[in-house]
Structure 1
Amino acid sequence: MGDSLKKEIKFFSAFAIVMGTVIGAGVFFKSAAVTAATQSGSLTLLAWLVGGLLTICGGLTITELATAIPQTGGPVKYLEVAYGKLPGFLLGWAQGLVYYPANIAALGVIFATQLLNLFHLQQALLLPIALLAVVSITGINLLGTRITAYFQSATLILKMIPIVLIVVASLLSKSTVHFTLLPVDLPHGNWAQGFAAALLATLFAYDGWLGLGNMAGEMKRPEKDLPRAIIFGLGAVTLIYFLINWGMLKTLPLTQIAGNSNATSEAAMVLFGESGGKLVTLGILISVYGALNGYTLSGIRVPYALALEDSWPFSKQFRKLSKHTAVPYVVALFQLAVACVMMYFGNFDLLTDMVIFIMWTFNLFLFVAVFKLRKTQPDLPRPYRVPLYPVIPAIAIVGCAFILVMTLITQTKLVAIGIFLTALGVPVYFYKNKKQTDSSS
């Protein structure tokens, strides 16, 4: 069966997928972890800037691969071309089994948590609301790529309302809180370790942009629209994150933000009063819901791409498309089921910390692949080439290595779980490979 997904994604939809997936829960709820780690307003803002710059360098680098290999499955295909089938399969396995379901589960949990806080509902309703959120988003995705992309664009516009309101109001209001951007305020103790932990926290907030490559096969002009969507999208996200955190630091004391997952809502109440704060919280809910849609939309394409090659377990079922909307509905239901199971076993921070190490390990291989393919396949069509080569890919590689080392030191158990789940794909790959060989002989 061939790849028969419809080419329905244009530039603005692609741009909305990047921004809509990236700007989700992270900007509102990782601020608590960042400030708790740095204990400094200026270090907090520096962490958000450095995290954004690392992400932009990574985006500029991987876009060269995305435009040279514009296929459904995105990074899975880039790894296959650069290193062979097994590394590509393992990325697809990790994404399909862990990364996307864990992100969907985490966003479902945070959506439900905020809804409970907004309407003062019982804690017992947390899981049912979270389940309802992820089920409803899967239902929207089953309506077809065009409708899902329009929905993503709409939620992007709506989610910008609370962000713009907080930024403008906080920057224009007279601050009762004092903090300095420069010179950098270094707290007592091991500030470098705290900054490293803060940087790791920001990376979840910047995560999600890579998923656009999964849908390159459904884009009308991937060679033009894909790099523009990633570059402009990530640049805008970095600016937004810096400004909203600056606004929060001007509005609330550092001690009130650190470790407080409701800090954004509290800042909104200080700026706009109780009613205005509730409206902003409603905007935050829309933001999380839109990010949930972005991860669901991207995640469905990964097992589907592997199923087309008969590499995924039960490939025959997983490559089935719905008759009228051409959506891989079996994959969508599988992803939903795994995410629902994960909700029972993890909280927001646990789930998000686990996926960071797995994805940045594969990101390292992707960054190196740009160098490798320039050498081994110089004639590969490259509609876009990473600017300032080799400086920007080198920055991406150094930043990635730092992230991996720090995660290994600070989150050893979670790293072990992530490696174990990824390694489970090795016997699956060889079993499927042997089965294909036997059937063709």
Structure 2
Amino acid sequence: MEQKQEQKQELKKNLGAVTAMATVVGSVIGSGVFFKPQAIYTATGGAPGLGMYAWLITGIVSIAAALTFSEVAIMIPKTGGIVAYLEEIYNPMIGFLAGWVQILLFYPAMISALAVAGGQQMAFFIGDGYVAPVAVAMIIIIIFLNSMGSKIGGSVQVIFTVCKMIPLILLMIFGFVRGAGTNPVFTPMVGEGLSPMVVLGQLMIAILFAFEGWTNVGAIAGEMKNPGKDLPVAIVGGVSLIMAVYFIINLAYLWVLPASELATLTAPASAVAVKIFGKLGGQIVSIGIIVSVFGSCNGFILSGSRVAYSLAAEGKFPFHKTFAKLNGAQVPANAIMLVGGIGAFYALSGQFNLLTDLAVFSSWTFYTLTFIGVIKLRKDRPNALRSYKVPLYPVVPLIAIASGIFVIINQIFLAGHRSTVISIASIIVMLLGLPAYMIIKKRL
């Protein structure tokens, strides 16, 4: 019943460009901007230049990606998102592997990374040494809230989406007002002996985490009055606004603390807040950041569990009968516990940057296949009805494809031992989906 209601809502064409733009901004802005300076300036060797430019470069890549992705999302208006798109563009096996990786890697890694970030932030109140326990506790609380019903999970999301803007605004304004502004911002580009291209790949992996959420434009498109005209405006305007916010707040960080110091801090935004407002003011901003993290984590448990439920309901996931069950509150509690439980297991690592890199690599493998799918669909179905076409075709899709390939190759071969291990582990998990698919195919 709930699914039918959702489908009816998607058919209502009542969103204009401004509302859609606000939805894009709300979906994307999360916690990455508060925690990623450490990974960024560690990669640059403590130099600020390329780190700042990388926010702009990655923003442009995200615009190209979202514009390209939207053509597929509108042309294939099926529930299931990228799983359904890849199944129709290529074959059911590719679609299954996308869902398999989303359930076992992408969503749990995003959930655990956010929870670990919350644990790092809580260190300002309870001291170091509790990151993993706090992260696991946060996930368990969110699992419990979401299992009580979709209204509660949805209400949590709305409240926390509003609250997360408060620390952003405070840091942007008072960083410039009270910061000294004496630290270098655009030079040097990278530290001595580092390759700018290799570093850029590492930076893009780090920053793409902060831009994650643009895939939601597919759902937005289904509710727009005139997607062909308004969707590019919503995407370019929304992601450009996000890019500006990210650039300005990182400029504000450097206005207060040098890049070399930000590279050493697991909670850089809180350190900046303490420098600006003092200990009490810094703690208040830290509470706002924890609220933001909690809301983002809730959103990924909410959406990730629906991917698991959707695949299970179609009989396309191991133990499908268990994960397709709805509880008394008419929510997929078992699917929520599956995705959240894997996330809690990953959170035991306590490694924020490792987990975000895992999430980005696992997702961009299939995003890139979707970008290629736009060109494939243009060739396979030249006469198909397209209410929206990616602008400047094929330039924009080629930018998205080239960026995806660059991120993947850099992560596997160039970004260092840890990145290579993460990538290989991600590929192994994906390949384990092949025997699972064969078993499920026989049953179907």
Within the candidate set 109, 117, 124, 1:118 is matched to 124
Residue in 2 that maps onto 1:250: 255
Residue in 1 that maps onto 2:398: 394
Residue in 2 that maps onto 1:382: 386
Residue in 1 that maps onto 2:100: 93
Normalised by the size of structure 2, how large is the TM-score? 0.88
Matches of 1:223 and 1:321, distance apart in 2: 35
How far 1:90 moved relative to its partner? Answer: 0.1
2:23 counterpart of 1:25: no
Matches of 2:364 and 2:49, distance apart in 1: 26
Within the candidate set 59, 64, 73, 1:57 is matched to 64
How far 1:279 moved relative to its partner? Answer: 1.1
Residue in 2 that maps onto 1:421: 429
Residue in 2 that maps onto 1:206: 211
How far 1:15 moved relative to its partner? Answer: 6.3
Within the candidate set 307, 311, 319, 2:312 is matched to 307
SS at match of 1:424: helix
How far 1:255 moved relative to its partner? Answer: 1.6
How far 1:5 moved relative to its partner? Answer: 5.7
Residues 203-239 of structure 1: per-residue CA shift (max 9 Å, x gap): 22222332565x679x755975977765544333211
Residue in 1 that maps onto 2:80: 73
How far 1:420 moved relative to its partner? Answer: 0.6
Residue in 1 that maps onto 2:377: 373
Within the candidate set 32, 39, 42, 1:36 is matched to 42
Residue in 2 that maps onto 1:352: 356
Matches of 2:315 and 2:5, distance apart in 1: 17
Amino acid at match of 2:421: K
Cα 1:18–1:331 shift into 2, 3 Å? farther
Gaps of 5+ in 2: none
Amino acid at match of 1:35: Y
2:6 counterpart of 1:6: yes
2:339 counterpart of 1:329: no
Gaps of 5+ in 1: 437-441
Q: Is the 8 A contact 2:185 2:251 kept in 1?
A: no
How far 1:375 moved relative to its partner? Answer: 1.6
Matches of 2:223 and 2:403, distance apart in 1: 33
Matches of 1:431 and 1:59, distance apart in 2: 34
Matches of 2:161 and 2:101, distance apart in 1: 27
Please give the residue correspondences for 1:136-151 in structure 2 after superposition, counting only pairs within 5 Å: 136-151=141-156
Within the candidate set 294, 297, 312, 1:292 is matched to 297
Amino acid at match of 1:295: F
SS at match of 1:60: helix
Within the candidate set 88, 100, 103, 2:110 is matched to 103
Q: Is the 8 A contact 1:63 1:227 kept in 2?
A: no
Q: Is the 8 A contact 1:25 1:287 kept in 2?
A: yes
How far 1:79 moved relative to its partner? Answer: 0.4
Residues 389-420 of structure 1: per-residue CA shift (max 9 Å, x gap): 11111111111111111101222111111011
Residue in 2 that maps onto 1:439: none
Matches of 1:350 and 1:180, distance apart in 2: 26
Q: Is the 8 A contact 2:48 2:184 kept in 1?
A: yes
Q: Is the 8 A contact 1:22 1:291 kept in 2?
A: no
Normalised by the size of structure 1, how large is the TM-score? 0.88
Q: Is the 8 A contact 1:67 1:223 kept in 2?
A: no
Residues 74-130 of structure 1: per-residue CA shift (max 9 Å, x gap): 011110110010000000000011110121112112212211x2213462x443322
Q: State the percentage of identical aligned residues.
A: 36
How far 1:23 moved relative to its partner? Answer: 2.9
Cα 1:185–1:422 shift into 2, 3 Å? closer
2:177 counterpart of 1:169: no
Matches of 2:306 and 2:30, distance apart in 1: 20
Matches of 2:167 and 2:42, distance apart in 1: 23
Cα 1:13–1:310 shift into 2, 3 Å? farther
Matches of 1:114 and 1:288, distance apart in 2: 9
Matches of 2:182 and 2:145, distance apart in 1: 43
Q: Is the 8 A contact 1:5 1:327 kept in 2?
A: no
Residues 273-330 of structure 1: per-residue CA shift (max 9 Å, x gap): 2221111111111111111012112211212222232111122232223455x43222
Amino acid at match of 2:77: P
Structure 1, 59-68 or 373-382: larger mean CA deviation: 373-382
Matches of 1:381 and 1:427, distance apart in 2: 37
Alignment size in residue pairs:
430
Cα 1:108–1:120 shift into 2, 3 Å? same
How far 1:172 moved relative to its partner? Answer: 3.5
How far 1:154 moved relative to its partner? Answer: 2.2
Matches of 1:126 and 1:357, distance apart in 2: 24
Amino acid at match of 2:52: L
Q: Is the 8 A contact 1:101 1:342 kept in 2?
A: yes
Within the candidate set 283, 286, 291, 1:278 is matched to 283
Residue in 1 that maps onto 2:274: 269
Matches of 2:32 and 2:140, distance apart in 1: 21
Matches of 2:171 and 2:82, distance apart in 1: 35
Q: Is the 8 A contact 2:47 2:260 kept in 1?
A: no
